[in-house]
Amino acid sequence: MSIFFNFACGLECSESDYLWDNHLLERIKNMLLVTTIIKPHKFEDVKGALIKSGVAGMTISEVKGFGRQKGHTETYRGSEYEVDVLPKIKIEILSSDEYVESIIETIQASANTEKIGDGKIYIQKLEECIRIRTGEKGKEAI
């Protein structure tokens, strides 16, 4: 029984049809990769808040980068074309889409200093995820 058919048949559908569709919906829910670039001194706060919110795992990298101010702080430090590449922390989290809103809110609340350079959060759709030990795939593997 397809979702479309259930939609089309409206109240004619049996309870088992709905259960089947719920199962299907559960399987096709998107898996997402949430990446955030934050200031290094906010890392412990952000990590703690994410763990508290129930995040199961994360990958952390030390990276360098610049944004719109080209790495310059409020105090002008370089010539017009000079770019300062500043150290940042990158956190990657695999998640199914129902948790992503909460992850975004948690990062935003814990990483924000209200100053320039606080960083970014960006989301990508994930094709597949596989748990190496068991071979589980998809959301089961997250």
Q: 43 vs 66, which CB is nearer to ligand ATP? A: 66
Q: Is residue 91 at the binding interface for ligand ATP, with CB under 6 A as the rule?
A: no
CA 31 to chain centroid, in Å, comes to 10
Q: 15 vs 74, which CB is nearer to ligand ATP? A: 74
Alpha-carbon distance of 4 to 82, in angstroms, equals 56
Q: Is residue 68 at the binding interface for ligand ATP, with CB under 6 A as the rule?
A: yes
> Applying CB under 6 A, which of residues 50, 89, 107, 119 lies at the interface with ligand ATP?
119
Q: Which does 111 bind (CB under 5 to 8 A by kind): ligand ATP, Mg ion, none?
A: none
Which residues would be at the binding site for ligand ATP (CB under 6 A)? Answer: 37, 65-69, 86, 88, 116-120
